[in-house]
Structure 1
Amino acid sequence: MSEPVLRLATAAVLDRDGYLPDKRQVAASFSRAAGSYDSVAALQRTVGSDLLARLPGSLAPQRWLDLGSGTGHFSRALAERFPAAEGLAVDIAEGMLQHARPLGGARGFIAGDAERLPLQSECVDLLFSSLALQWCGDFPSVLAEARRVLRPGGVLAFSSLCVGTLQELRDSWQAVDGFVHVNRFRRFEDYQRLCGASGLRLLGLQRQPQVLHFPDLRCLTHELKALGAHNLNPGRPGGLTGRARILALIEAYERFRQPQGLPATYQVVYGVLHKDR
């Protein structure tokens, strides 16, 4: 990795809108999940592969950045797709970086925050980020940082989650109590507005549902925990959840059952933006 690429950055840890968790909790949760993540990451693989397919066919970066690189699966995919390019992997969770480093793919593995990237300006040609930016409360700063680090002609390609994700679980908990049990996400309309005001040219922005099915509620909650994506929101209830409430939740969720099992809907946002100058 070229030495001038790096610059010192202090990661912000507070969500200015108050509806996303403290980033220190996000980093710690995903660090703990590094060993189990790949075993339950089918949705993440599907979404990331879809995002790769949305990249402009003419794109030939000299340097790419995998932002929110996790266990490095898509860092390795990017290295295979662009073998002549230098790759950087950035993640807020040091545990994920420790897991990914021995597996290769990127040339450099850097702990960093998407809202304040530890990179020099105009140093990458492709910023790829799949299912990571939903944890960023200050999305305008994410877009501003993407615009800053991209060279003219560079591309930002991201996937994220919006309102409607895990709606079945959210509605089931609402039938049980009024606490925050499910991670909150921004509206698709906010992605539209913020991307439109980013100074980057929008090549595409779509919302696409992905529905997973589980035999029972325990399998769903186990997967969320293994991914590190269980409830981290401010306002979540403390302590253990009582047996009566769990039974009530199971009963409420069973009303959504389909022939394939209990559905869990993810509303996935795909965005591709271009830096003209």
Structure 2
Amino acid sequence: MTDANPNVLPDKRRIAASFSRAAASYDGVAGLQRAVGAELLARLPAAMRAQRWVDLGSGTGHFSQALAERFPAGQGMALDLAEGMLRHARPRGGAAHFVCGDAECLPLAGASQDLLFSSLALQWCGDFAAVLGEAHRVLRPGGVFAFSSLCVGTLQELHDSWQAVDGFVHVNRFRRFRDYRQLCADSGLDILDLHMETRLLYYRDLRQLTHELKALGAHNLNPGRPDGLTGRARLLALVEAYERLRTPAGLPATWLPVYGVLRRRLE
């Protein structure tokens, strides 16, 4: 995914519908998402105090609860594009408000928030520059925008295996790390931390991986994917291609999360 090529970006209605359907199954397979979010939470400035915070792309509300524990005197908002996720999260509490909204056009007043926290949600936004612009707008001077997302190379093994089968888009596109770096540098926000890491997971078989992606709501959401059911012959060819990558630990899948902690300058 790149901001310069909007023709390859997934449709937001499809994204919202996919994650709404995944609300009940998400937590059961979200080990990586929990680990990345916990790492992002640990990277918040140790001394910061947030009276007003937003969990942006809040999903099932796991990190809304964690933020409420981190900032017990604050008032939080869980904001997500998927209404189904918000319905699932609301009974669990954590946030004072649950709002359906878009990170590229936040329904928030200017200079109203001390913290925007977003873990593994912004990779679904087509215009990351707009996300950064909105963060700059709604943060108070000294406020922090902390995010994690995914970079090109995520699920590379699955992508390469599909390429051995056909030329369709079967794996979600992600931005390059250098694109994140440039966009953050141009945002007007001070960069406190920006880095990428590699997380390599192993799966018993291809079915386990594809089941997990579907349960997360993160299966193929991009234009260019083949319509209709994937033929049995192609699936068998995909399994054969991926099996060539098998290690004693299982089938590898690379995930490349990027972490960013940015701050609006004091004025």
* TM-score in same-fold range (> 0.5): yes
The answer as to whether partners of 1:16 and 1:138 remain within 8 angstroms in 2 is: no
Cα deviation for residue 21 of structure 1 reads: 0.5
Unaligned runs of 5+ in 1: 1-14
Which of 118, 133, 152 aligns to 2:141? It is 152
The answer as to whether partners of 1:163 and 1:184 remain within 8 angstroms in 2 is: yes
4+ residue stretches of structure 1 with deviation over 6 A? none
Deviations 1:131-153 (A, max 9, x none): 00000010000000001010001
Residue number in structure 1 paired with 2:68? 79
1:167 equivalent to 2:149? Answer no
1:266 equivalent to 2:255? Answer yes
Residue number in structure 2 paired with 1:36? 25
Cα deviation for residue 211 of structure 1 reads: 1.4
Residue number in structure 2 paired with 1:245? 234
1:135 equivalent to 2:120? Answer no
Please tell me the residue identity of whatever aligns with 1:185. F
Cα deviation for residue 209 of structure 1 reads: 1.0
Please tell me the residue identity of whatever aligns with 2:34. R
Give the alignment of 1:183-222 within 5 angstroms: 183-222=172-211
Deviations 1:111-131 (A, max 9, x none): 000000011111110100000
Deviations 1:185-204 (A, max 9, x none): 01111000000000000011
Which of 14, 38, 43 aligns to 1:25? It is 14
Deviations 1:135-186 (A, max 9, x none): 0010000000001010001000000001000000000000000000000001
SS of the equivalent of 1:18 reads helix
Q: TM-score, normalised by structure 2?
A: 0.97
Cα deviation for residue 258 of structure 1 reads: 1.4
SS of the equivalent of 2:133 reads helix
Which of 124, 128, 137 aligns to 2:113? It is 124
Identity of aligned residues (%): 72
Which of 93, 96, 100 aligns to 2:82? It is 93
SS of the equivalent of 1:159 reads strand
Cα deviation for residue 243 of structure 1 reads: 1.1
- 2-side partners of 1:175 and 1:142: how far apart? 35
Unaligned runs of 5+ in 2: none
Cα deviation for residue 97 of structure 1 reads: 0.2
SS of the equivalent of 1:117 reads coil
Residue number in structure 2 paired with 1:50? 39
Which of 159, 171, 174 aligns to 1:182? It is 171
Cα deviation for residue 244 of structure 1 reads: 1.0
Q: TM-score, normalised by structure 1?
A: 0.94
- 2-side partners of 1:153 and 1:268: how far apart? 25
SS of the equivalent of 1:38 reads helix
Cα deviation for residue 255 of structure 1 reads: 1.4
Which of 209, 222, 225 aligns to 2:214? It is 225
Cα deviation for residue 225 of structure 1 reads: 0.3
Please tell me the residue identity of whatever aligns with 2:184. C
SS of the equivalent of 1:90 reads strand
SS of the equivalent of 1:180 reads coil
